[in-house]
Amino acid sequence: MGVLGSLHLPLRHTAVPRATHTVRVAIALLQGSHTTASAQQRYWLKRFRQARRTGTALIRLRQVLIVILKPIIAQKAFVAKHPLSDLIPFPLPNLNMKLALTALLALVPALAAGAPWLHDVTDPLSSRAMYEQLAAAPAMKRSGDDFSSAKYTHIVVGGGTAGTALAVKLSEDPAKRVGLLEAGPIALDRADTNTPGLFGANLGTNLNYNYTSKADVAPAVAWPRGKVLGGSSALNFLVWDRASKAEYNAWEELGAKGWNWNNLYKYMKKSEKFTAPSAEDQAALNIKTNSADYGNAGAIQVSFPRYISEQVKRWIPALEELKIQHNDNPLAGDNKGASVQPSDILPSNSTRSYSATAYFAPASSRPNLSVLPGATVQRIVFSSVRSTSGNVVATGVDYTHSGQKFTAALVSSGEVIVSGGTVNTPQILELSGIGQKKVLQSAGIKQIVDLPGVGENVQDHVYTAAVWKLKNGTVTLDSLRNDPAFAADQQALYANNQVSILQETVPAIAYLTLPQLVGKAKALKLVAKAAAYVASANVPYKASLWKQLEHLTKRLDSVAQMEVIGIDGFFAPGAPQAGVNYVTFLAAQQHSLSRGSIHVQSSDASKAPIIDPKYFTADWDLDVLTAGTSYLRNVANTKIYKANGFVENEVLPGQGVDLTNYSKQNVVTEYHPIGSASLGPKSQGGVVDSSLKVYGTQNVRVADASVIPIHVSAHIQATVYGIAEAAAAIIHNKWTYLQ
């Protein structure tokens, strides 16, 4: 999902071709002659040649391609769905379609924001040399033979948000030999990933698995998942927040001993290094931060965007007008209310701080850490001899790399840690023979461990969007699409590490309880409806439904059920009008009663699993989401947003539209799926115990979002980093409650 062009939800993304060949094509395009080029096109080519030895060469390159490649965007329907398709704003005659299209797709990141290594800063993580150095670092392996030449104390399957962080934390012990296998590439040098204001631009690239959910009560929905070192931490929208104490304590109350607010808060803070905004920025944002709420020595850089938009300045006063309290400390265990949230941004140069750059890059020279990108794990390999307790014993993993099959082996006391995320972790377990007999049989896989909870209990956050036109002259992310000169100026500012709209993220967030959303009387009616649904449910994870109902009864006024978000720009189904700027408000349901599943469909690891989130199988979910959609009108119609004509007319859903049907047909995942390998007792659908060990195995653990047993009202990356830090402590025998 991108912010520079028309956004189409749900998305159907196209893959970006390999850059090496296509960059050569682009260079040839620029260096050659164009008999069909107009005088305007030839002028820009001349300008590029004059400027290519200067610091503005990249901006000139963008201007050249804006002129040359617009007709390609206009004529290729599938490109029109690309997040950056509307960056080129005006029509021109046709040129060589195939040649120009290939060049465009390869260079979209550079066109959009400039390369991060052009920033005039000293931070080594923003240099091209850094990327090349990392690619040649001792930890980086180039072949399966190279990776499999060693035996490992720990093999981490999946180099995503948690997996990369965990592998690095384990390698802090020089006695451990850690191997990390990641299906995607290493891509630390991409502007579409590193530039905060381009959040979502890389969803239409080869860094995304491009999964799609199964249609059920709701239509099929795109499920983006990161296929790159760093995983979805390279793709997400950079929101850094936490849920309430009660929501984390619910994990332990469901049987996950030690997994409570106090412990998780410690490990979440351990992952972060917070930089407070200036007093001037705090005043502009209507906030007062408390550094004690954050960690100060972790890997992930947490700060506030330097660019502050008009919409964000109005956010907290507008929500206060609706009697939603202002929350200055939303990361300290009480998240309800309106806030301006921080982002995972490196403050020295305003680039994304994520698992690959923050954890892996500083550790890439460790001799006891091996990382192999482009490796697809086929299965965990088990010994034919079980342990004395009857558990299966992993001896390594089978994987493919560059079309060849390899096996990575463990030392005799070694462990496999699966960190494939909520989608790929159950897939890997089932490919290895761990799961429900019925599912495994239908896929042609021999069952080794009977574990019915694998792939079940899937929960997600879903949202709907509503859009309003803003008064003429308002600057939003739409301005990058509407005004090429403005876009070029902002690129130049960003490249020189000055304040730029390309530093913007999604900080305007409010968490609402059910009474705040619909009023106390209607809230109580909805609680009664939820209670009836839970009482009638016949599922092995019913305990989590009862706990969720407890949030609605005992904690009706303290646990948030709805997230409301303000975004600068058009961020919804359909297409924006040229030359117009918009504000989009999102309503995201935080505690759906519906539970879905993720299961393999064959024994072939290259085939995507079946993602069946079962959205709206509980009518209650649609009732609450529809109420959220309606509430967005309350936000847009506040005096604060209406002042000086800032917000004008409603574009979506539109007057007279049935909000229930609109919410159902336009539902989108908030990219926070959890629960497919839950913590908790096996009898209640649990897959891992409190030490993250998979039931029935001697030495297989899971560490990622899939272990979360019941959802939390938060964007989950800070929680997932906390899980990785906690997992490392468990494996290092430093989490004392287990001893």
pLDDT of residue 138: 86
List the one residue out of 688, 679, 672, 731 whose CA is nearest residue 233.
672
Determine whether 715 is an active site residue: yes
Cβ atoms of 201 and 83 closer than 8 Å: yes
How far is CA 588 from its chain centroid?
15
pLDDT over threshold 50, residue 24: no
At a CB cut-off of 8 Å and minimum separation 6, what does 543 contact? Answer: 254, 255, 680, 684, 685
Cβ atoms of 212 and 15 closer than 8 Å: no
- Coil vs helix vs strand at 193: helix
Query: Which token pair is 471?
Result: 């008064």
Share of the chain above pLDDT 90, in %: 78
- Dihedral (CA of 22, 25, 30, 31) sign: positive
Identity of the amino acid at 119: H
Q: What is the mean pLDDT of the chain?
A: 86
pLDDT of residue 130: 59
182 vs 111, residue with greater confidence: 182
- Dihedral (CA of 183, 82, 581, 671) sign: negative
| Residues 525-552: tens digit of each pLDDT | 999 999 999 999 988 889 999 999 999 9
**Residue 563 buriedness (CB in 10 A; 0-12 / 13-18 / 19+):** buried
Catalytic residue of the set 13, 154, 599, 672: 672
d(CA 47, CA 52): 9
pLDDT of residue 561: 98
Least confident of 16-20, 177-181, 485-489, 694-698: 16-20
How far is CA 514 from its chain centroid?
26
pLDDT of residue 303: 97
List the one residue out of 397, 353, 367, 396 whose CA is nearest residue 379.
397
pLDDT over threshold 50, residue 609: yes
| Residues 64-113: tens digit of each pLDDT | 444 444 443 333 333 333 333 333 232 323 333 333 333 333 333 333 33
219: number of Cβ within 10 Å: 13
Please name the residue that has the structure tokens 């950079």. Answer: 238
Query: Which token pair is 275?
Result: 């930089």
Query: Which token pair is 5?
Result: 């062009």
State yes or no: cis peptide before 10, omega within 30 of 0.
yes
Please name the residue that has the structure tokens 């599922």. Answer: 539
At a CB cut-off of 8 Å and minimum separation 6, what does 37 contact? Answer: 45, 68, 95
Catalytic residue of the set 154, 401, 551, 715: 715
The top-scoring range by mean pLDDT among 190-194, 391-395, 575-579 is: 391-395
| Residues 300-342: tens digit of each pLDDT | 999 999 999 999 999 999 999 999 999 999 999 999 999 999 9
Kindly provide the residue ranges of all beta strands, DSSP E only, lying in 432-473, ordered along the sequence: 434-435, 449-450, 462-470
d(CA 447, CA 535): 33
705 band by pLDDT with thresholds 50, 70 and 90: very high
List the one residue out of 606, 607, 609, 586 whose CA is nearest residue 596.
609
What number of residues does the chain have?
A: 739
128 band by pLDDT with thresholds 50, 70 and 90: low
168 band by pLDDT with thresholds 50, 70 and 90: very high
Average pLDDT over residues 218-233: 96
d(CA 233, CA 716): 10
pLDDT over threshold 60, residue 688: yes
Helix, strand, coil percent content, the chain, rounded in steps of 5: 40, 20, 45
Determine whether 672 is an active site residue: yes
| Residues 559-591: tens digit of each pLDDT | 999 999 999 999 998 899 999 999 999 999 999
Judging by DSSP bridges, how do beta strands 151-157 and 404-418 pair with one another? parallel
| Residues 492-530: tens digit of each pLDDT | 999 999 999 999 999 999 999 999 999 999 999 999 999
Kindly provide the residue ranges of all beta strands, DSSP E only, lying in 325-401, ordered along the sequence: 337-340, 345-346, 351-352, 369-373, 375-382, 394-401
Query: Which token pair is 513?
Result: 């309880």
Question: How many alpha carbons lie under 13 Å from residue 639 in its C-beta half-sphere?
Answer: 4
Main-chain phi, psi angles of 301, to 5 degrees: -80, 125
pLDDT of residue 646: 98
pLDDT of residue 610: 98
List the one residue out of 306, 316, 701, 700 whose CA is nearest residue 504.
306
pLDDT of residue 116: 34
